[in-house]
Amino acid sequence: MQTPRFTLAVLGGSGLYDMHGLTGVEELTVDTPFGPPSDAIVRGRLGDTTLLFLPRHGRGHKVAPHEINYRANICAMKMSGATHLVSVSAVGSMKEEIAPGDLVVPDQFIDLTRKRTTTYFEDGIVGHVVFADPVCPLMAAALGAAARKAGGKVHQGGAYVVIDGPQFSTRAESRVYRSWGVSVIGMTAMPEAKLAREAELPYATLALSTDYDCWHESEEAVSVEAVMAVMKKNVVVAQRTLLELAQALPDPAKSPATGALRGAIMTAKDKISSGASKRLSWLLG
């Protein structure tokens, strides 16, 4: 059997890991210093790549976006050996040309969340990572190529505005966000991207457009039924995309995420509390 070269971690819906070609499937229960992740991690093999899948809302979709333990989810992936991380999420389109069913690989985020812990560095340790370009460009390029190869209509680049939810936007809010020139709107990419950078994981998002947000004249209101109908179709393309990506992962050593903590920690070593040191041992060694 081939020795795994890389380990691709995927945060998304529970249906993503039920894919053809995945072998040696097993479940991992991971305890983290930040509490339990959303669910057990499903691990399998595809050629010389290990795949890790974690349903961010839990199986049965029981965890709301603002209730997700984002820190535990990213930590659990890192502790399980992740070398790359892809976030798969349903989004609303903010541009006419991004139709329901299209795929977007954003390269920027606008974080409008207010209720979420967005860092691992607190309570006795201070760290400031560079985050001007939150998506690994190598991962984004590989993800976009994989999605096109899988038959998806892909929009490469663009900004993803993240709101707390669980309510959808008001029409006034939607029109304001659209005036900013953003491409999509969703509820889960933050603080995933921030925590992935702190965890030094090359990160990219595969955003699945399920609807035009309520700014669009065709949308009297965004309905859960309409979103789920398109999402079911998108999942098939997302699965194919992940299979293609797993065979074409970029070298993580060349990612800006690798070494992100170099020079980022401001606290003197002898001043780091024992609690903080223990809590971040999985990251700092």
Three-class SS state of 244: helix
C-alpha gyration radius of the chain = 18
- Please say whether the beta carbons of 30 and 37 come within 8 A: yes
229, containing H or E segment:
helix 224-246
Q: Identify any residues that bridge with 162 across adjacent strands, giving them in sequence order.
A: 111, 186
Nearest in space to 207 (alpha carbons), one of 278, 159, 257, 279: 159
> Beta strand 84-93 with 49-55: parallel, antiparallel or unpaired?
unpaired
Angle of the 137-149 helix axis to the 224-246 helix axis, nearest 10: 100
In 3-state terms, what secondary structure has residue 30? coil
Could you give phi then psi for residue 90, rounded to 5 degrees?
Answer: -80, 140
The one catalytic residue among 39, 213, 251, 270: 213
- 18, 211, 251, 270: the catalytic one is 211
Active-site annotation holds for 102: no
In 139-224, at which residue ranges do the beta strands (DSSP E only) sit? 154-156, 159-162, 184-186, 203-212
Question: Any idea which residue has 């398109």 for tokens?
Answer: 230
The answer to whether residue 111 is catalytic is no
H/E stretch holding 86: strand 84-93
Q: How far is CA 246 from the centre of its chain?
A: 16
Residue 55 and residue 23: Cα distance in Å, rounded?
19
Catalytically annotated residues:
211, 213
